[in-house]
């Protein structure tokens, strides 16, 4: 344990310089969904490769049809040591509306709160640059103190996580052998609360679809044509309204066929987490659970599938008023999947559902925006036992096993294509405002996240599991 203690002390000592490194990475506006920022995405990848080379990793930028990947290997632990793959993503969400940010999104600041706690501001601070750097810093300290790492480590960083990961599958297929390890460690999730670390054992899958409904061949004057001409906004609104029934259930045929009810013991664990629905919703200005009737909010967000409209647009949306019947209306719709729901089946069922509701003289087009199945890690996995212990040693409260409402497609792909399980350990918080203005990452997350990874690497090597 002496070596681990040295590593932890090293992390404590060097916290300030690790923050400076994170700020440098946060200054790169690597927005993957907007082609205008392609060069910045590459710059972020190159920054990471340079840092990992500096640590002694065999690191390189790897080309794809989209934004590049970063791959880095450290084999100093020897061929018999457990092999772990760490996954993170260096790309970030767009920043609009930019005028709602208190600090510029790409000029990170350390802000001290009234209670004395510190946080790091900026787009990507929590999602996912701050989180991925906790692992890199743990490696840096381990190498500095012991000359090497306790496990064989592959670091795999993606640049398209926020834009549907179009290059991920071909890249995994082409580099299957290089990327296969005993377990994937993923740092893109939240703690349970400020003092309780969490391992996410369930992740919802995701299907993204864009629907474009077209009616007339041009925008029409609603005086001359109103009442006679099809209005694509009406058609679209009706379809979207019919996606849920009065009980908040999704109405796609067969949508719940592969959805299982929660085992009684897991439900028991969740009920004992002390989760407050009122606080969860109240934190964002709401008070009434809006989803499936008769389910708790944890069930709704962790173990039930959803359909959400993430964007809609049609007709005149500028200042003032224009009495137009538009030629087109469009919506972006996503489905969160659980258990064995098949993304392709859901996508196809949705398309049929929409097509059946399009008038004969109108048209519909679909654009695919990613799809991935849900993940469920067995509750009795030895990996889980080891990681829970390591985390529980670092934080005031023992680690809990939770579900996750979000989707991390890569977890499903690791399972499906590389037969590799994933351990989801993250240090984010529900109020980090990822995807929103004023994203931040707690300094405690950044600091104890680094220390947590040092403990996890040490524990995995000791237990010799992967």
Q: Judged by CB, which is closer to its own copies: 52, or 358?
A: 358
Measured from the CB atom, is 436 or 462 closer to its own copies?
436
Cα 77 to Cα 50: distance, rounded to the nearest angstrom: 22
Which residue from 373, 382, 363 is spatially nearest to 410, judged by alpha carbons?
373
CB of 84 or CB of 236, closer to its own copies: 236
Task: Classify residue 312 as exposed, middle or buried by CB count within 10 Å of its CB (0-12, 13-18, 19+).
Answer: middle
Nearer to its own copies, 313 or 393 (CB): 313
Number of Cβ within a 10 Å radius of residue 210: 16
Question: Is the previous residue joined to 391 through a cis bond, with omega within 30 degrees of 0?
Answer: no
Minimum gap (Å) between residue 3 Cβ and its own copies = 37
Q: Which of 281/463 has CB closer to its own copies?
A: 281
- How many C-beta neighbours within 10 Å does residue 79 have? 7
The distance of closest approach from Cβ of residue 94 to its own copies in the complex, given in angstroms and rounded to an integer, is 7
Least distance CB 311 / its own copies (angstroms): 4
Q: Are strands 422-425 and 152-158 parallel, antiparallel or unpaired?
A: unpaired
Nearer to its own copies, 76 or 124 (CB): 124
Q: Which residue has the tokens 């299957």?
A: 176
When the beta carbons of 246 and 265 are compared against its own copies, the nearer one is 246
d(CA 92, CA 115): 29
Say how far apart CA 142 and CA 4 lie, in whole Å. Answer: 8
Smallest gap from Cβ 389 to its own copies, in A, equals 27
Dist. CA 251–CA 353, nearest whole Å? 9
Query: Taking the complex as a whole, how short is the minimal distance between the CB of residue 288 and its own copies, in angstroms?
Result: 5
CA atoms of 54 and 294, how far apart (whole Å): 54
Backbone angles phi, psi at 108, to 5 degrees: -60, 145
Least distance (Å) between residue 336 CB and its own copies: 5
Angstrom distance (rounded) from CA 302 to CA 281: 15
- Of residues 39 and 290, the one with the C-beta less far from its own copies: 290
**Least distance from C-beta 302 to its own copies, angstroms?**
9
Q: At its nearest, how many Å lie between its own copies and the CB of residue 79?
A: 38
The whole-angstrom separation of Cα 1 and Cα 174 is 39
Strand partners, 367: 210
Say which residue the tokens 């790897």 belong to. Answer: 62
């Amino acid at each position: 344990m002496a070596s681990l203690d040295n590593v932890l002390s090293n992390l404590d000592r060097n916290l300030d310089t690790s923050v400076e490194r994170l700020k440098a990475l946060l200054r790169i506006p690597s927005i993957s969904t907007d082609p205008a920022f392609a060069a910045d995405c590459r710059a972020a990848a190159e920054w990471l490769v340079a840092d990992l080379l500096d640590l002694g990793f065999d690191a390189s930028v790897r080309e794809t049809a989209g934004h590049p990947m970063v791959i880095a290997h450290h084999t100093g632990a020897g061929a018999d040591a457990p092999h772990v793959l760490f996954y993170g993503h260096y790309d970030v969400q767009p920043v609009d509306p930019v005028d709602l940010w208190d600090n510029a999104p790409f000029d990170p600041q350390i802000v001290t709160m009234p209670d004395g706690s510190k946080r790091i501001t900026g787009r990507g601070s929590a999602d996912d640059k701050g989180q991925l750097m906790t692992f890199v810093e743990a490696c840096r300290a381990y190498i500095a103190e012991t000359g090497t790492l306790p496990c064989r480590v592959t670091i795999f960083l993606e640049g398209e996580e926020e834009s549907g990961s179009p290059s991920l599958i071909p890249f995994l297929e082409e580099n299957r052998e290089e990327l296969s390890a005993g377990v994937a460690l993923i740092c893109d999730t939240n703690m349970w609360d400020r003092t309780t670390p969490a391992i996410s054992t369930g992740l919802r899958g995701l299907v993204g679809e864009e629907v474009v409904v077209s009616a007339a061949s041009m925008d029409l004057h609603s005086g001359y044509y109103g009442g006679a001409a099809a209005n694509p906004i009406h058609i679209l609104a009706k379809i979207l309204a019919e996606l849920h029934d009065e009980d908040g259930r999704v109405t796609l045929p067969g949508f719940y066929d592969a959805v299982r009810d929660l085992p009684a013991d897991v439900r028991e664990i969740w009920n004992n987490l002390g989760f407050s629905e009122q606080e969860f919703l109240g934190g964002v200005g709401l008070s009434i659970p809006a989803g499936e009737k008769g389910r708790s909010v944890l069930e709704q967000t962790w173990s039930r599938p959803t359909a959400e409209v993430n964007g809609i647009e049609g007709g005149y949306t500028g200042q003032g008023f224009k009495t137009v019947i538009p030629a087109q209306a469009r919506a972006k719709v996503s489905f969160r999947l659980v258990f064995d729901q098949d993304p392709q089946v859901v996508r196809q069922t949705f398309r049929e559902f929409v097509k059946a509701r399009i008038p004969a003289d109108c048209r519909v087009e679909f654009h695919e925006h990613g799809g991935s199945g849900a993940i469920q890690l067995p509750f009795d996995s030895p990996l889980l036992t080891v990681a829970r212990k390591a985390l529980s040693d670092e934080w005031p409260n023992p680690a809990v096993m939770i579900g996750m409402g979000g989707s991390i497609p890569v977890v499903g792909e690791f399972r499906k294509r590389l037969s590799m399980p994933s351990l989801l350990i993250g240090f984010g918080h529900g109020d980090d405002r990822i995807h929103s203005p004023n994203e931040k990452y707690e300094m405690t997350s950044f600091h104890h996240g680094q220390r947590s990874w040092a403990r996890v690497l040490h524990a995995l090597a000791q237990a010799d599991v992967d």
